[in-house]
Chains A and B, each alone.
Chain A
Amino acid sequence: MSGHFIIDGRTIPFRAGQTIMEAAADAGVYIPHLCHRPGYTPHGSCKLCTVDVDGRPASACTAKAQEGSIVENDTPALNDDRRALTEMLFVEGNHICPACEKTGDCQLQAVAYHLKLVSYRFDHFYPARGVDASHPDILLDRNRCILCDLCVRASRDVDGKNVFEIGHRGIRSRVIVNAASGRLADTDIDVSDAAVRVCPVGAILIKRRAFAVPIGKRTYDLKSVAEVAIEEVRAQREDEGG
């Protein structure tokens, strides 16, 4: 079933089986997100893409587009909630931008800019989930992880390897790796794996690349997170020959 629905007053088309997120992106409408990535199985965990569908909250990345439904996305109330959610992610981990190589390329940071997160009200957790520098080419800093599950999906579905999983539960949840030693060096991960490059934050980094692109010239220094997200979807559609 294909059809149309309305998002922020604008009528946009959708194809059968598309989620609200996919249909919106095809129409050039950005819905903030972190755990979603085009081409990956939707996860629905970060909840940043929460929209109002006919008056009820739903995750745009997992909810299927429905004929005639009225979706609210870019509203002050929803963006206030998303800002609070982003703040919760910042205080949960150790997100110290000046000390992180990912700055300027980090989606968490870029989404926070988009939502204009300026002030903090929640206390920091300063977790000690461990840093794994054992691998010669790859660094894993669990304290910067936002538990988006993208590396888990990339390793399993793209690389066919099962290097990562989310272990433990609740606030103690953390990424675990496929080795009895618990060390990344003892897994079969390779620097060319999709799982290494998919991380939206500075939790999984390729070593010795820190300043290949200088600060000020990085992805989100040049473009907003909304522009980048829409361009990514366009590029993917062109790859598909659409």
Chain B
Amino acid sequence: MTHDEVATACALRHGRSPTKLLQVLRDVQAALGHLGADAIDAVARALGLPRVRVEATATFYHLLHAESHGVYEILFSDNIIDHMQGKNELLEYMCERMWLAPERVSEDGLVYVGSTSDIGLGDQGPAALVNGAPLPLLDHNRLDLIAGLIRNQKPLSEWPPMLFEVATNIRRGDVLLAEPHAPGSSVARVLEIGPQGMLEDLERASPRGRGGAGFKTAVKWAACRAAPGSARYVICNADEGEPGTFKDRVLLQAHADLVFDGMTVAARVVGAAHGILYLRGEYLFLVDALEAVLQRRRDDGLLGNRILGEPGFDFDIGIELGAGAYICGEESALIESAEGKAGRPRNRPPFPVTCGYLGQPTVVDNVETFACTAKIAVRGGAWFAAIGTPESTGTKLLSVSGDCARPGVYEYPFGVSVRRVLADCGAKRPHAVQVGGPSGTCLSWREFDRRIAFEDVPTAGAFMVFGRERDMFEVARNFTHFFAHESCGFCTPCRVGTSLLSNHMDKLAAGKGSAHDLTQMQRLMHIMLTMSHCGLGHTAAKPVVETMEKFPETYERRLQALDYEPAFDVDGALETARQITGRDDAFAHVDEDRS
């Protein structure tokens, strides 16, 4: 097939709609291996878009690439937890086995090995993706097996299925994970009590958004319902990109009906006919099972026209995939992405509830939030409000990983103490916990009596445990690199600030830090916090700020006694010239001790 034929076929699959550009690009890359200039041209023709717009989207997403990544692309998850479990050593081992350099395709065009931001398998790492499919629990044995499969060019369908088995690891369930839920029961209930009744129940239940920001769900839904528009949309934010988080993956693996019930309830309340499950690209492996659930729901009259026989209650859900961009977890960036563009957060106001997807009123809620609303529909607002604390009603799913005996998903009523969670997961000599991921809060051992709740320690769900032997400076450095990699580049403070900050952290790590660096880092952190466009920039410096405050010794240890040290390797910067001239005399060096 020619590039044009491939692009046309992929475009047709998505109704030739320019808003499905990202989906089309994903499909075209899956068919052609990469998105070269010809492929971009073909997609532009197939969708009737300027090619530069296609290229802007294609180059924004980490999982899309202009050059070939070989027949087998292996991307190791790069979170600090993966590092603690030996990620770097395993990546090097794999490269040695396959005779290749990281981030470069092998000479025979067979294989590529690289890194990618956390893939949502923190409880079963170190993990990687091969051509988008998950490879949990990697060790030398598994890598030996994988290396052999690749060398023999076995298609993924012939690999042992156990390599791809992703466990749900539900360690503690409460009302969401442990109680049975009859698919459609929430939808039936909302038909009974009506949209207004549901909103009243929601107000009584008073749930706050589980994505981290904690906005009142009832207020959001009511605003969307009241906003003028020609259509309304319900979007489920399943772009679970915060390193250390994986509870949404587990909800979608084990309780998809609960989530889809919640979306359908929302659709009834706000009057939406279209729903989107925006699923992060790293969760591609969930798509087939989720599509099957959606089809069953259509067959059962829980989706489609006249849901449960109700005239005018028409609603369906489509799955759209991301392609490797943490920023798309921000709701307005998610909407941009769902419209086929690069995921850059919009200027707000207006907010999505009045001007969201395609400029229409849109509800965007987290996976767990929809699960909560489905439960509230069935059990009532008063029942829900009695769980948790007055300010933080209901339960919270925690994705527990790191230095503990039993990593996995834990559901607690809000208000649970950090100490209790640490005891339940079998934490080993815990020294610190990163609650809510890199953008969340770093708690030291002195703060373990604090509670998981919006009024104390709010969280989107990550709970990374660090034992006494862990170096919290390295934790912060890993997070700083994550933010630099994930900055969308829209605003100056975040685009330049995240890179400068990670350069300073690298300089400290190399033992070249001085008081000068700390002064510059303080300047940067202030600018990023106050002037950035969105939450990513506002929080990108937080891991450094908090670890500096709570673990100052890890920074002091790295500071030279000097006032100033260059960031670059001064003598190393002469190496090229030494090679060119073949010189190695004293004057060809600037080491203090050599020359």
Contacts and interface: CB of A to CB of B under 8 A. Distances in A.
Interface of A: 42, 44-48, 50, 57, 59, 62, 64, 81, 84-85, 88-89, 91-92, 121-123, 125, 146-147, 162-173, 176-182
A165 B488 contact: no
Contacts of B325: 169
Contacts of B523: 84, 121
A92 B533 contact: no
Given A167-B60, A169-B488, A170-B486, A85 B52 contact: no
A171 B56 contact: no
B299 to A, nearest CB: 41
Contacts of B520: 121-122
Given A170-B484, A170-B498, A88 B52 contact: no
B51 interface: yes
Given A165-B55, A176-B59, A122 B500 contact: yes
Nearest to A90: B496
Contacts of A125: 499
Interface stretch (B37-45, B258-266, B545-553): B37-45
Contacts of B519: 121
Contacts of B527: 81, 84-85, 88
User: Nearest 8 A-B pairs (CB), nearest first?
Assistant: A173-B489, A178-B52, A162-B50, A165-B56, A88-B496, A170-B487, A171-B499, A167-B59
Interface in B478-523: 484-493, 495-500, 503, 516, 519-520, 523
A231 B529 CA distance: 33
A85 B533 CA distance: 13
B531 A166 contact: no
Nearest to B348: A62
B581 interface: no
B196 to A, nearest CB: 30
B567 interface: yes
* Most chain A C-beta atoms within 10 Å of own C-beta, residue among B60, B490, B520: B490
B489 A57 contact: no
Nearest to A173: B489
12 contacts: A47-B491, A47-B492, A85-B492, A88-B496, A122-B520, A146-B492, A147-B495, A165-B52, A170-B484, A170-B488, A170-B498, A176-B59
B342 interface: yes
Contact of A176 (B56, B485, B499): B56
Contacts of B349: 64
B53 interface: yes
A57 B495 CA distance: 18
A119 to B, nearest CB: 12
A149 to B, nearest CB: 9
Contacts of A179: 51
A89 B496 contact: yes
Given A47-B491, A170-B498, A178 B51 contact: yes
Given A84-B527, A167-B60, A92 B347 contact: no
B96 to A, nearest CB: 29
B562 to A, nearest CB: 16
B366 interface: no
A56 to B, nearest CB: 9
Nearest to B58: A167
